[in-house]
Amino acid sequence: MKSFDKKIKKEFKLLWEMSSEIHLPEPPNTDDAWMEMEQLIEQNEVKTKLSPARFYPKRKFSPQPRFAYVIAAVLMFTLLGQPAYLWLTTESFITDRGEQISFNLPDDSKIRLNAESELTFRSSFNEKSRLVTLSGEAYFDVQSGSHPFIIQHEDVSIRVVGTQFNVRTIENEIEVAVNEGIVLVSNDQTNDNPVHITKGQFISFSKKESPGTPEAIGHDQYPGWIYNKFIFNQENLSVVCKEIERKFDVDIELESDGLETITVTGVIDAKDLSRVLHTLSSLTNRSYKFDNKRYTFY
Amino acid sequence: MQTPEKKLLERIKKSNKTAFKDLYYIHHPVLFRYVVYRIRDREIAEDIVQETFVRIWNNRSRLDSNKSFFSLIAKVSNNLCYDHFRHQKVKIQHQEKLPGLYSKNKKNPESGHDLNEMKEAIWNAVNDHLPDKCRKIFLLSRNERKTNQEIADLLNISKRTVENQLYRALKILRKLLKNYL
């Protein structure tokens, strides 16, 4: 070792030093990269497991029901009729708090489902129509196809041809933000003409109202959750905390009155919970503590 | 004796994703630096690194736990880099864009050579003129700042070989860069 070092220093000093000073970008955060890797692996496995004609979700039933299950299914089918038929032919993806999944629909449209959300569709999807129902939040990258793609949430329907957009339904609010293409939103409760939302616009309305007029998104990394960020624009602290609870599977309480009406504006990196809470406490000028398995702002 | 890496590889062969994750965390930053040195584009390098690991996972049943894992991923990523250069012809663009090693109109010696220019020249020479094994060891040493012993462990070769290869690399570079030295 000693002799090698000496030899190098004597013969190649400049070259040896210069070659280690070449400026290179730092490697990306390994946690983020691994998350992406898990998705890549998952996508690959879904692709190899599925024949192109048929699509099996991982949650409801196994791809090859055993014989007994087939008999049971036939029995239930005859006994229960329509509801059983609906149950058996409905496929759904469900996420818990703190969980996100990505998958492809039978028409190759890509879906990314945020935490605490559910997306269901019938097994006849893409035969005569492309209809899915959603509660929660999902990012859609819809392939163009012969049938319009429709997303239903209670009475609100969102109709598209081929595009990328985010739909979020939290409590009574619905928000649709479009990154690519055109989306039509209508509410059967109010029965107005459907509203057109185009690239770079979003709309946010209550389930009982008509959708109103779209506004400009004003942020190039929207929706934030796709980029692992929280983007808040004059959002009440209580809503902000719900988002954090959903993303990190934690409980957050607001202790003193008046806290929930504090509004938060800004982009927060959602990589790490303690950093998010730290940023939030400096934005709101409040402190937080952790005990009894929950965080409390005061 | 079983090395930790060998154990991990055995578990990966049995589709153990946790073992894969462990190995990923160990090698991801190293491989990124290794690739970005060649590709010089952060995003493409990230893609190549991810694609390398996806390929490893997809072909996990064929892993050989007696061979060095880093050697394997370096080889796979090297092939992906070659593919990239072939498809994009980026290499040609780079050689046109950058103050080239071979451009005839060198600055006159009196002005002294710009250090950045020399770094570029080293960069090009490493990428274009070092044999694969030699380049791999050189980059681990100079770019990753690993000691010769660490490189030897990483690649399952003797420390003596590492030293010889580094010496060889430097001799090649010195010959190519004699205008700068």
pLDDT: which is higher, A66 or A23: A23
Whether A262 maps to a domain, the answer reads yes
**Cβ–Cβ contacts within 10 Å for residue A28, how many?**
18
In chain A, % of residues over pLDDT 90: 4
Whether A250 maps to a domain, the answer reads yes
Instruction: Read off the pLDDT of residues B23-61 as tens digits, 9 standing for 90 and up.
Output: 999 999 989 988 988 888 888 899 999 999 999 998 898
Whether A247 maps to a domain, the answer reads yes
Return the pLDDT at A137.
92
Return the pLDDT at A163.
81
Show residues of chain A in contact with B126, CB under 8 Å: 19
Show residues of chain B in contact with A44, CB under 8 Å: 54, 57-58
Q: What residue in B sits closest to A7 (Cα-Cα)?
A: B167
Residue A49 forms contact with B (CB below 8 Å) = no
Single pTM value for the model: 0.44
Instruction: Read off the pLDDT of residues A109-143 as tens digits, 9 standing for 90 and up.
Output: 899 999 888 898 888 888 888 899 998 999 998 88
What lies within 8 Å, CB to CB, of A125 at 6+ separation is A55, A91, A105, A106, A107, A131, A132
Whether A173 maps to a domain, the answer reads no
How far apart are the C-alpha atoms of B4 and A298, rounded to whole Å?
48
pLDDT: which is higher, A233 or B7: B7
Q: What residue in A sits closest to B55 (Cα-Cα)?
A: A41
pLDDT band per the 50, 70, 90 thresholds, residue B110: very low
Whether A285 maps to a domain, the answer reads yes
- Rg over CA atoms, chain B: 18
Return the pLDDT at A84.
59
Q: Do B37 and A24 touch (CB under 8 A)?
A: yes
Whether A184 maps to a domain, the answer reads no
Show residues of chain B in contact with A40, CB under 8 Å: 50, 54
Q: Do A33 and B28 touch (CB under 8 A)?
A: yes
Instruction: Read off the pLDDT of residues A213-229 as tens digits, 9 standing for 90 and up.
Output: 888 887 777 888 888 88
How far apart are the C-alpha atoms of B88 and B96, rounded to whole Å?
14
A54 pLDDT exceeds 70? no
Instruction: Read off the pLDDT of residues B113-151 as tens digits, 9 standing for 90 and up.
Output: 567 788 888 888 888 888 888 888 998 898 888 899 999
Interface test with B, best of A37, A44, A48 (most B CBs within 10 A): A37
**Torsion B140-B146-B148-B150 (CA) sign:** negative
Domains of chain B (ranges; CATH) run 1-89 (1.10.1740.10), 98-181 (1.10.10.10)
Which stretch of A160-164, A249-253, B95-99 has the lowest confidence by average pLDDT?
A: B95-99
Which ranges of chain A does DSSP label H, i.e. alpha helix? Answer: 2-18, 30-49, 67-80, 82-88, 237-248, 273-284
Say if CB A296 and CB A288 are below 8 A apart: yes
Provide the CATH number for the domain around residue A269. 3.55.50.30
Say if CB A37 and CB B54 are below 8 A apart: yes
Q: Are strands A288-291 and A294-297 parallel, antiparallel or unpaired?
A: antiparallel
The one-letter amino acid code at A121 reads F
Q: Nearest Cα to A224, choosing from A121, A134, A122, A100?
A: A100
Q: What residue in B sits closest to A29 (Cα-Cα)?
A: B29
Return the pLDDT at B109.
45
Written as six digits, the tokens of A185 are: 């939103």
- Rg over CA atoms, chain A: 25
How far apart are the C-alpha atoms of A106 and B26, rounded to whole Å?
37
Distance of CA A26 to the CA centre of its chain: 28
A281 pLDDT exceeds 80? yes
The CA–CA distances, whole Å, from B139 to A21, B122, B172 equal: 12, 12, 14
Whose tokens are 């690239």? That residue is A199
Whether A19 maps to a domain, the answer reads no
Whether A154 maps to a domain, the answer reads no
Q: Report yes or no for ipTM above 0.95.
A: no
Domain that holds residue A296: 228-298
Residue A37 forms contact with B (CB below 8 Å) = yes
Residue A258 forms contact with B (CB below 8 Å) = no
Written as six digits, the tokens of B21 are: 């994750």
Residue A8 forms contact with B (CB below 8 Å) = yes
Number of folded domains in chain A? Answer: 1
Query: Where does residue A110 rank: exposed (0-12), middle (13-18), buried (19+ CB within 10 A)?
Result: middle
